[in-house]
């Protein structure tokens, strides 16, 4: 009998705690309901890689595509092609590309030897105060290897001689530097300093011949312009709106050079 009374007393002593537990549980339910929207994004289709900004499936697919492309095209492929055509990927057009059919030159930030930067292509603003001095035609020359400099000069020298007195024509020779050690900021500054002391920027009359440099990965830039062979050089004639109106590659022939000069004259006459 005594044991039965003790048991009843024990049950009564713990029974008030039961509502408290319910209250705590109820508050926990409220807490979970508040937090749950933040975890709603975590569905079975998402992973921890998405949360930490690590490469997604789309990025991985893009990188795999690039890796396959780079493995397919190596230096040996470039060398074999160069041996066949001497750097002349395609024969340059004899006429100017119509404005409605022209594509834009991809944006490219380049660096001068003094460390100043410039975004190519230069887009003219006809309503600006100095609109008369803005370039209406720009020849952008691209070199990815040192051996293509001689090819580029076959275009640049006659171009400079012809339009040396023009205020609306510009020439940019872009050298691409992709080695990680050379793109490291301290080494980059030293390299630009050495270039500035050895060569410097060349000026010919009113036409500025600018040697500029691009540091870093240029794969996607090349893909946009469909430039595969890195041994040869490329030239693009760009109008005041950043559109490619003529292009060539390799060393200039007399016929191609005549077409370049003629197309540049037409751009200067466009209104």
pLDDT of residue 56: 65
On whether the pTM is more than 0.75, the answer is: no
Radius of gyration of the chain (CA): 32
Residues whose CB falls within 8 Å of the CB of residue 243, separated by 6 or more in sequence, listed in order: 97, 99, 102, 103, 104, 105
Q: Quote the DSSP letter at residue 93.
A: P
Question: For residue 243, what are the β-bridge partners?
Answer: 104
pLDDT of residue 86: 85
pLDDT of residue 256: 96
- pLDDT tens, residue by residue, 138-186: 999 999 999 899 999 999 999 999 998 888 999 999 999 999 999 999 9
For the chain, what is the mean pLDDT? Answer: 78
Q: Are 191 and 161 in contact (CB under 8 A)?
A: no
Any idea which residue has 């197309």 for tokens? Answer: 263
- The C-alpha atoms of residue 47 and residue 29 are separated, in whole angstroms, by 26
Q: Which two structure tokens, joined as six digits, stand for 130? A: 């100095």
Q: Are 166 and 197 in contact (CB under 8 A)?
A: no
Question: For residue 235, what are the β-bridge partners?
Answer: 141, 248
- The C-alpha atoms of residue 189 and residue 204 are separated, in whole angstroms, by 26
pLDDT of residue 126: 62
Q: Report residue 43's pLDDT band, with 50, 70 and 90 as the boundaries.
A: very low
- pLDDT tens, residue by residue, 185-200: 999 999 999 988 886 4
Q: Which residues of 20-59 are buried (b: 16+ CB within 10 A; e: fewer)?
A: eeeeeeeeeeeeeeeeeeeeeeeeeeeeeeeeeeeeeeee
Q: Strands 117-120 and 202-204, how do they pair?
A: unpaired
- The C-alpha atoms of residue 213 and residue 116 are separated, in whole angstroms, by 11
- The C-alpha atoms of residue 156 and residue 237 are separated, in whole angstroms, by 12
The number of residues making up the chain comes to: 271
CATH number of 74-269: 3.40.30.10
**Domain edges within the chain:** 74-269
């Amino acid at each position: 009998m005594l044991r039965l009374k003790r048991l009843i007393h024990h049950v009564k002593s713990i029974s008030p705690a039961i509502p408290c537990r319910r209250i705590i549980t109820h508050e926990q339910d409220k807490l979970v309901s508040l937090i749950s929207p933040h975890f709603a994004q975590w569905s079975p289709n998402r992973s921890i890689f998405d949360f930490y900004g690590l490469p997604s499936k789309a990025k991985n697919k893009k990188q795999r595509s690039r890796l396959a492309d780079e493995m397919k095209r190596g230096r040996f492929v470039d060398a074999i092609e160069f041996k066949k055509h001497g750097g002349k990927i395609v024969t340059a057009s004899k006429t100017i590309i119509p404005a409605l059919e022209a594509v834009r030159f991809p944006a490219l930030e380049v660096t001068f030897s003094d460390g100043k930067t410039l975004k190519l292509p230069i887009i003219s603003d006809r309503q600006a105060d100095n609109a008369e001095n803005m370039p209406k035609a720009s020849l952008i020359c691209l070199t990815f290897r040192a051996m293509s400099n001689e090819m580029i000069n076959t275009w640049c020298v006659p171009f400079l001689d012809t339009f040396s007195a023009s205020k609306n024509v510009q020439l940019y020779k872009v050298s691409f530097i992709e080695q990680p050690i050379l793109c490291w900021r301290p080494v980059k500054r030293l390299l630009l300093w050495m270039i500035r002391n050895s060569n410097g920027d060349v000026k010919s009359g009113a036409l500025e011949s600018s040697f500029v440099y691009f540091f870093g990965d240029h794969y996607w830039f090349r893909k946009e312009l469909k430039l595969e062979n890195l041994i040869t050089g490329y030239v693009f004639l760009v109008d005041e709106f950043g559109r490619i109106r003529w292009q060539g590659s390799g060393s200039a022939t007399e016929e191609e050079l005549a077409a370049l000069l003629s197309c540049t004259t037409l751009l200067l006459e466009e209104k």
